[in-house]
Structure formats: structure tokens, C-alpha cells
Amino acid sequence: MPSNDTIRPVRRAQHRVALLLTGALLYFTLAAGTILLTSDGKSHATVWLADAAILALLLSRPKSDWPLALALGWAANLGANALTREWAPGITLYGLINMAQVLLAAWTLRRCSQKGEILANARATFTFLICGGLIAPAVGAIAGSTVSWVNYGEAFLPSLERWYSSNALGIVILTPFLKSWFDGSYVSALGMRGSRKRAEDLFLLLFHTAVSAFVFGQSGLPLLFAPLCSLLLLAFRSGRLATQAGVVIVGISGALAAVYHLGPVALVQGGPVFEAIFFQSYLAILLGTALPVTALVASRAEALAEAARREEMLRMILDHSPDAILSFDDGGSCRWADGATDELLGLSAGSCRGALIDELALKISPVLAKLCRAALADPAETQIADFAPTNLEGRTLEATVKAVMSDEKVVGTVATVRDVTAQRAREREIARLAMTDPLTKIPNRAGFDAAIERVPIKGEAACIALIDIDNFKGINDRFGHKAGDRALVELAAAIVRLSGSDHLVARLGGDEFLILLAGDITAAQRFFGGLQSEIAILSASLEFDITISGGIAELHALAEIDSVFEEADRRLYRSKRDGRNRVTATA
């Protein structure tokens, strides 16, 4: 049994051929009918609808189908002309000319409009009228009238006028309707519209048909304006597809009336040719009025649909937004609130709307009101600040407030609030790591510089002390870097343990430590005495001896920290020169 993968391409090919054959059969029917009804067998038909069938096929099918569609159209044209006219070798050229003008119209429309759309908007409608109603029929008229002059001796200019008017009118009237039928637009539109809307469309089409039948079925009253009114009603209520069908209804009604010499057109005095030209002009005016309206309605519908789509997208974004958004007028009243107001502010969006900024500030934070006032005072600047919400403990929120301008006038503010609790925690951790020695977990030089401004120094004096381990390179070389790292960690812990909360300890790098000691030189020397005892215990646990050298310099109230640091460094190196394992506290 054949698989679905085999059956589907076969069915698509069958559907393609069936559609093209349907178009060719429709072409033959329209061509033969219009020649019999509106031509004497030699002159051109008054209304030529057949080309619209092939043009609609080309516009609704891929270009790979165009050669077969044009070949079938030419064969249908030849058959219709052979059946209804006196045989002459030149009639074979009529089909070629008709197919050439159809191909020209399809090619220009495909190049000038998106996907060959012809009434989707005002620009597409204008392009269709120029390409399908002007350029292509004019080119075909010149060639066709030349053939008629050679074959039948028809006068060139009247033949040119008749060919152009009949072909242009047929293309403009019928092509939009047939294209929408071939590409399935009518079926899709019916499926998308509700039962009530379909009933309304059917009623309006029947009403328009009744109006057209009444107007063209009587010859007593010149009511040619009436079909235009019902057609415009179709355009506004039912849209482009229904309007296309309405134009076809008017064309068929007028054509049947012309056959039986009825309707307002029959009141025109001037003979059959003049009546035909008059009716063509009427249809041209009808189309020129209705098509722009349908394009305008289509553009408006597209704009409304796009606006609805954007509104729905905005609603989805706000419903899932992690931020809260508040908008205030220039008087401080909240006009709009949305987003995560419950999660961030502890207030529903509804309770925020209509409230004054000062009322919300009491429930959220005074910072919000302060930022809004600052934004109103300085519209060019964006106001940003962190705050802790009053009713949500442990949260850090960031508010961004900007003035709203209209015609260079401040009309209010818009505030965006987001949760930055985790972000600020990460920033603090990054800052801490940047100021912390990764090995000993005590501050580095940057951490020491940042902390010294806020560390309270008890007593009347303080000292800066520098310490390093004697012969630390030898320890690394003899016992390994892991042993050296352990010595640094244990020494740092001992210093911190002895210093307590009154002192500040930092590792400068390598084996060098910096200590801010509360008290005078004597207190600092006592601290080092205790540290020497700790180091003796530490050496026993490390299984190798370590000693330290240090330098102490007193920090006076007016002294520069850098100069005191340099003095402590000089005293450290004096301890090294004097034999190590000692602390120097004098100049």
C-alpha cells in the first residue's frame, strides 16, 4: 500500500492540474460568451472578462505553474475564437497577445506588490489599477488592433479603443474576485467569520444583488447611483472580498441588461457602441470609488488587528513582568499601575490606581515620592535610587523615575520598580572578595584602606605595625608551598585572635601583614609580646619553627597614614638588619 509520503505529492499534482484546467475552461466559457454577445465576429468584444481568469491563476500560483497556465489559456482562446469567428490564420495571434498582456500584468504586479496582492491596501490597489488596468491592456490593445486591421480590415483607432476598454474593464472587474476564489481566500474567510457575521454578509450581498437587478432591470429611472451605495455598504461592513463579489454582480447585471436592451444605460442616446463605452465608464467610476474604500477598510482592519495584537502582547509582558510600573500625573495621582505590584510593593495594581504619591509613599517608601518630585523638578534627568520597602522586610528595591513630556510640557512621571535584593547581595560579595585576601580570609591592602576610615580607634593614640615571617622563602623551599601557606593562615588567625575588635588586620601580600593597633607604642609592644607567645605555640603545631620581624610607628591625629606606613616599613627593615625575630618601635 502506498505511503502517505507518496500519496501527498500525487494529490498535490492532481489538484494543481485540476485547478489550471478549471481556469482554462472558465477562460473558454467567458471568451466564447462575450464574443457571441458583444461582438459581430470581426470586431473586439465590448467587455472581455476571460483574461481575468488566467491572470488570477498566475497571481495565485507559483511561477513554476505559469507556463502550463498560459499554454492552456492560449488553447482556450484559440478554441473560443475558432468557434465564434470566421476562421483566419491571424486568430491564432489573438491568444498569444492576450496571454502576453496577462503575463505582463502578472509579472509587474508580482514585482511591484508583495506576493501579488492586489487589493490588500491603498498602495496595492493603486499598483493593480496601473499595471492591470492601464499598462498591460494598452500594450495588448496596440498588438491586437494591429492583428484586427490586418485580418479583418478593422479601423485601427476604434479597434484600439474597443480592445483597451474591454480588456482593462474585464481585468479590473473580475481578477480580484477570481484570485480570491482560486487561492482559497473566500473559503478561509467564511471559516474565520462567525455565524452571525456570515449571515450579515449574505444579507448584504443579497441586498446588493436585488438593488443591482432592480436598477438594471428597468429603463424608466436613471438609478445608477444606487448600486454604488449598496457596494459601499458592503465595503464598510463586509470588507474587501465581499466588495469584489459585489463589483462582479454589478458587471453581470449590467451586461445582461445590455443584451436585452434594458436598464438606465439603454436611456443613453448614441447607439450600442456608445452605450457600451458609457457602461464601461460607469463601471470604471464604480471601481475607482469602491476599490480605494475597500483598501482603506482593509488597511484600517489591519491597523486595528495590529493594535489589538500589540495590546495583547503588552498585556502578556506586563502580566509576566518581574517589575512594577506606576504612572503619575503632574499632581501626583497614580493614573496607571501594572506588573508585579503585589510581589514588590505589597499592594495590588487596583489599590495603587487613583492614590496620591504621598499616600503610596507611606505604604511603600518615602524614597518613591522623593524621586517623583525630583523628576518633575528636573525632567531631563532619570532619577534612580535603592530603598527598602516598608511592608516587605529583607527586600532591596530599585526605583527608576522619569518625567513624561507632551508638547515640551511635563505632564507626569513614570516609575519602574524592580527587585535588586539578589543583585545587591552579589555586588556586596564581589566587593568583599575584591578587598579580601583569598588565602587568609582577612582584608588585603584595598580592604585595609577602605576600612580604616570607618574603624573607631579607642584611646588617645594608635599605631601602625608591619610584620613579616623571617626567612619565609626558605620555609617554602624546604617544606613546600603548602606548608608556607599553612604558616600564613595560622599566623593571620593568631593575629586576628589577639587583636580582637579594637584592631584592623590585613595581608599586604607574600608574608607581610599590616595591623592598625589601638593604643600607644607601649600597648603595641605588649601586643607583640603576646603574639610571640602565640607563634611559639604555632611553631610546635607546624613542626617547624617560624619567627617574625616587625616595625611599629605611632599614628597621630594629624599624621598622614602613608607617612606613618613608610616609617613602620623602615623600622621593619631595621629589625631585619639587626638579626630578625624582633620588633622595632623607635626611630
Contact yes or no for 479/491 (Cβ under 8 A): no
- Class of 324-423 in CATH: alpha beta
Cα(506)–Cα(447) distance, rounded to whole angstroms? 8
Alpha-carbon distance values, 505 to 132, 192, 445, 539 (Å): 89, 77, 10, 21
Closest to 457 in 3D by CA, of 380, 524, 399 = 524
Burial of 408 (0-12, 13-18, 19+ CB in 10 A): exposed
397-406 and 324-329: which strand pairing?
unpaired
**Rounded to whole angstroms, how far apart are CA atoms 56 and 73?**
12
* Amino acid, single-letter form, for residue 228: L
Q: Are 298 and 240 in contact (CB under 8 A)?
A: yes
Q: Would you call 458 exposed, middle or buried from its count of C-beta atoms within 10 A (0-12, 13-18, 19+)?
A: exposed
What would the CATH number be for the domain defined by 438-584?
3.30.70.270
What residues does 507 pair with on adjacent strands?
513
Beta bridge partners of 418: 398
- Asked whether this chain's domains 9-183 and 324-423 adopt the same fold, the reply is no
Q: What is the CA radius of gyration of the chain?
A: 47
Is the domain spanning 9-183 CATH 1.10.1760? The answer is: yes
User: Is there a contact between 40 and 88 (Cβ–Cβ < 8 Å)?
Assistant: no
Domain positions in the chain: 9-183, 185-319, 324-423, 438-584
Among candidate residues 472, 583, 458, the one with its CA nearest the CA of residue 528: 583
Label residue 144 exposed, middle or buried (CB < 10 Å: 0-12, 13-18, 19+): buried
Q: What's the gap between Cα 468 and its chain centre?
A: 63
The one-digit pLDDT tens for each residue of the chain (587 residues) are 455 555 567 677 777 888 888 888 998 998 888 888 776 666 667 778 888 889 988 888 888 889 998 999 899 988 888 888 776 676 778 888 889 999 998 898 888 766 556 766 667 777 787 888 888 888 888 988 888 788 777 788 888 877 887 788 788 778 888 888 888 888 887 877 888 888 998 999 999 999 999 998 888 888 888 988 898 888 888 877 888 888 888 877 887 776 667 778 777 776 655 666 677 677 767 777 776 777 677 677 778 878 888 888 877 877 778 888 899 998 889 998 888 888 888 888 888 889 998 888 888 889 989 999 999 989 889 999 999 888 778 889 999 999 998 888 899 999 999 999 888 889 888 888 888 999 999 999 888 888 877 665 555 678 899 999 999 999 998 989 999 999 999 999 999 988 877 778 999 888 999 999 888 888 888 999 899 888 888 888 887 889 999 999 988 766 678 888 899 999 999 999 998 999 998 86
